[in-house]
Structure 1
Amino acid sequence: MKRLIALTTLATLASAATMAQARDLGPDEALRLRDAGTIQSFEQLNETALAKHPGARIEETELEDEYGRYIYQVELRDAQGVQWDLELDASTGDVLKNHQDD
């Protein structure tokens, strides 16, 4: 019986850990992190993303907490109409992913 309880508890914890891996941050929390200097300004992050695809426009952005790292996700559409997905480390501005959307 104790073994069954331990296995059930372990499965519940593993499930909770999986769900907690990535979390969307709301505007209030994002602004608090920016104001505290934890992440770069959204203007800086957007400039970094746009520098990868001159002439593109931003269609959507999102800030997530992934494993304790703040990731800024940007969807761009370039002058030829091609959509690009970028991920930046919101603290450093480093581009982590830059790929054409399928």
Structure 2
Amino acid sequence: MNRLTAFFIATLMALGTSLAHAGDLNDDETRKLQDAGTILSFEKLKAAALAKHPGATVTETELEEEYGKYIYQVDLRDAEGIEWDLELDATNGEVLKNHQDL
């Protein structure tokens, strides 16, 4: 095998490994992270999201691991019916993204 072929194979293997670590976390993984104190409880994360849009309703939530960070995604509908997409750092509740869903 020549060097170029070996390089491409190693690159594809590394890419596949990093993609395998991105995505939704299951209930067991989530519970372990919460129990270990790695991420905040969902109640605290929802409260942080709702603080940005008082009176809104949570319509959907999802916890993902992206590039080694735990991201809590929240979809809200405010009192005027406007939908919002928020992303929070699940470790500390910091709002990373807060934009209107168009």
TM-score of the aligned structures, taking structure 2 as reference length? 0.89
1:72 aligns with 2:72: yes
Unmatched runs of 5 consecutive residues or more in structure 2: none
1:98 is paired with a residue of what secondary structure?
A: strand
User: Residues 35-74 of structure 1: matches in 2 within 5 Å?
Assistant: 35-74=35-74
Unmatched runs of 5 consecutive residues or more in structure 1: none
1:20-42 deviations in Å (ceiling 9; x for gaps): 46221011111110111000010
Change (3 A) 1:35 1:21: closer
TM-score of the aligned structures, taking structure 1 as reference length? 0.89
Query: 4+ residue stretches of structure 1 with deviation over 4 A?
Result: none
- Per-residue deviation, 1:15: 3.7
Aligned length: 102
Distance in 2 between the 1:30 and 1:14 partners?
25
